[in-house]
Amino acid sequence: MLELVSIMKQGVHWQLSKVVVNPEHITIITEASEVNNLFQEGKIGIGLNEHVVFSKVSFKSFSGFKDLIAVGSPEQILEKIQKKEKTLLKG
């Protein structure tokens, strides 16, 4: 399992939450351009470093939900997945 931090809009406010996902259910990770633009424009005030980027993580349809917006670039999330896989292989 893989722990990510997701961002979602609740009414007019944005909030962060930890989520645990099965990395085998991830189908694609892309840059979340719209959310990144809102963050850079200061429209998402959640107290994160100004250099943070967000990614859209999409899942296989049977996983129970379609996608989420996660904190981190696609490369950073992929690195977390690969690091987790190496740890599992080493036992």
What CA–CA distance (Å, rounded) separates 56 from 15?
16
Contacts of 75 (CB under 8 A, 6+ apart): none
- For 7-33, how does the pLDDT look when each residue is reduced to its tens digit (9 = 90+)? 999 998 999 999 999 999 999 999 999
- Comparing CA positions, the residue from 52, 50, 62, 59 lying closest to residue 2 is 59
Q: Edge-to-edge strands of the sheet including 26-31?
A: 13-21, 2-10, 67-71, 54-59, 26-31
Contacts of 52 (CB under 8 A, 6+ apart): 39, 71, 72
- For 40-90, how does the pLDDT look when each residue is reduced to its tens digit (9 = 90+)? 999 998 989 999 999 999 999 886 779 999 999 999 999 999 987 766 566
